[in-house]
A and B are shown apart, each in its own frame.
Chain A
Amino acid sequence: GDSVTQMEGPVTLSEEAFLTINCTYTATGYPSLFWYVQYPGEGLQLLLKATKADDKGSNKGFEATYRKETTSFHLEKGSVQVSDSAVYFCALIFSGAGSYQLTFGKGTKLSVIP
């Protein structure tokens, strides 16, 4: 079945450091890909998404490019801030089979220190 694998955390970075959180997927067909963010004590918020190969999703300085050839959707940010401390989830929906279920990775906890 469809699955998402993302790098294990926790990840601790200093403010203004470069961030990469790796995410790879396995799916039959062409899924839509998402990154969600969960701030402490809250639910999930959509951070960005991409629906087809070579699409780049971006939001709040975060970017991720849908790479079909490597089945990846790595999350990057050039300069992290303390306020970016949160748990980040990579997720996919396999579009085209009538399935509306999100498949999540296990989440990566990011801590940014001043």
Chain B
Amino acid sequence: GAVVSQHPSWVICKSGTSVKIECRSLDFQATTMFWYRQFPKQSLMLMATSNEGSKATYEQGVEKDKFLINHASLTLSTLTVTSAHPEDSSFYICSARGARVGYTFGSGTRLTVV
């Protein structure tokens, strides 16, 4: 079945530094990738949608300069949290969609900014 690998699974960083999270589709080409942020009490918020080779489309209220998304190939998308602050601490989840593959989610990344 379709597999999406997300790394790292957890990361702790100092305030002011940047963190990169990778999302890879292992056995299919992901024409579209999605990045979600999960808040306390489990609600999921779609941050952005990215198509390979084009700029990501950000949801209203998401700072594109803070959350940099790159979808350079059909199997890799990255989310970089720039100048991270404690309020950016959260669980981030990616999802990939291919031509004959439904939505497949990564295992998530727990980001803690100290």
Contact yes or no, A46 B42, CB < 8 A: no
Give the distance in Å from the alpha carbon of A43 to the alpha carbon of B44 in the complex: 11
Q: Determine whether the beta carbon of B42 is less than 8 Å from that of A106.
A: yes
Is A35 on the interface with B (CB-CB < 8 A)? no
> Of the 9-residue stretches A19-27, A72-80, A96-104, which lies at the interface with chain B?
A96-104
- Given A41, A43, A100, A104, which contacts B6 in the complex, CB threshold below 8 Å? A43
**Interface check B15, CB cutoff 8 A:** no
A41–B6 Cα distance when bound, in Å, is 13
A66 at the interface (CB under 8 A from B): no
B24 — which chain A residues lie within 8 A by C-beta?
none
CB–CB B42/A38 < 8 A: yes
Q: Which of B61-69, B73-81, B82-90, B97-105 contacts A (4 or more CB under 8 A)?
A: B97-105
Max chain B C-beta neighbours (<10 A), residue from A44, A100, A104, A106: A44
Residues of chain A in range 31-73 having any CB-CB distance to chain B below 8 Å = 36, 38, 41-46, 49
Which are the 10 A-B pairs with shortest beta-carbon distances? A107-B42, A44-B105, A43-B107, A43-B105, A43-B108, A106-B43, A104-B44, A87-B42, A43-B93, A43-B106
